[in-house]
Each structure stands twice: as C-alpha cells, then as structure tokens.
Amino acid sequence: MKVGLFFGSFNPIHIGHMVLANYMLEFTDLDKVWFVISPHNPHKEKASLLDERHRLQMVQVAIEANPHLQASNVEFKLPQPSYTVNTLAHLKEKYPENDFVLIMGADNLVSFHKWKNYEEILKYHHLYVYPRHGSADSDLRTHEKVKFVNAPQVEISSTMLRQAIREKKNIPYFFPEPVWNYIREMHFYEK
C-alpha cells in the first residue's frame, strides 16, 4: 500500500490541510494519507504549540468520515525533537508492507538539504511536492524521487487562524465543522 505522510503540527488542522489531503488521495497514486502530528518541530518554538493530545484529537474528528485518512501519533513516542529520518525508519520497521511517501510543500523542498540525513530519506522514499506561494526553486526539483503535484494552493495558515480566534473573529468555515466545535468548546487559542 502506498501511504502519503503529511507531517505537521496541525495547530490547528484547517480546510487547507483537508483540501491537500483530499487532492493527494484523488489525484495521485496514494492509497492513504496519514496526518503525522509532530509533538515538537525542531524548527518551531514548542511554547506556541497546543498540547499534542488536543491536536491529535482535532485531526481525528476532522477525518473520521474518511477511511483513507488516518491520524498518526507515532512521533509522540519517539525521542524529541523528532526528525523525519528517524520517524521513517520506525514506520518502515513497523509497517514493512507500506511504501511511505513524504508530502511536502515546495517551501520545504527548498530547505530539504538542511534536514537531518536528507540523502537517506531520498534514497528510500519519494517526495510528493505541492506548490506554495512565493517558494524559491530547489536544486532537488529534478531529482528522480521528487514528484511535483499540481494541488490547489489554499493560502490559509494556522498562525493566521489562531490570531483570528484571539481577536474573537467568527471563522467556522475555515475548519471542518467538528474541529471548529472542538476549538469553541475547549476555548482554544482565545488568549
């Protein structure tokens, strides 16, 4: 089975994430997409992250109606900070029958050469790269393991949505309905 791994903090998950995952399922050869919730991205401040259990719960309620989407907390159990190369090795050992593909934005491809053991990732895994507004070109663009997909660009960021919630904006259509309800019920991002 070909599984796309969509890594992120999902702080919170929003319709931009959902559109991309849906596109990857329907317009590429992926059989499933797993949302891999990062407990701590080595390139982000940990203090700005909502507790990982709540971010996992929001992803689970967002995708519960689609059996081809899955929430993964695999990185919660791995040493911190988590690095993609370690996560991939762990997943390959646990699920040897799966062919894991990384889903990433073109902006991440530009800095991919800075990732820990990026050559090893490229040796064993394909990268499906979606467009991101304003991304520079990458030397890896023509690499045999890099495939560009023409996914629609949804210019919504979790940062912008957290700010809007702090400003008491009513923004339910930016989220799957159960996620918006969960955010409101738990009073997340209000301060």
Six-digit token string for 180: 């918006």
State the average pLDDT for the chain. Answer: 93
Residue-wise pLDDT for 72-123, tens only, equals 999 999 988 889 999 999 999 999 999 999 999 999 999 999 999 999 999 9
Six-digit token string for 178: 């159960």
How far is Cα 33 from Cα 120, in angstroms, rounded to an integer? 22
Which residue shows structure tokens 């991939």? 88
Domain coordinates in residue numbering, the chain: 2-155
How far is Cα 26 from Cα 87, in angstroms, rounded to an integer? 25
Residue-wise pLDDT for 55-69, tens only, equals 999 999 999 999 999
User: pTM to 2 decimals?
Assistant: 0.92
Report pLDDT for 44. 57
Look up the CATH architecture of domain 2-155: 3-Layer(aba) Sandwich (3.40)
DSSP state of 31: S
Assess whether pLDDT exceeds 60 at residue 43.
no
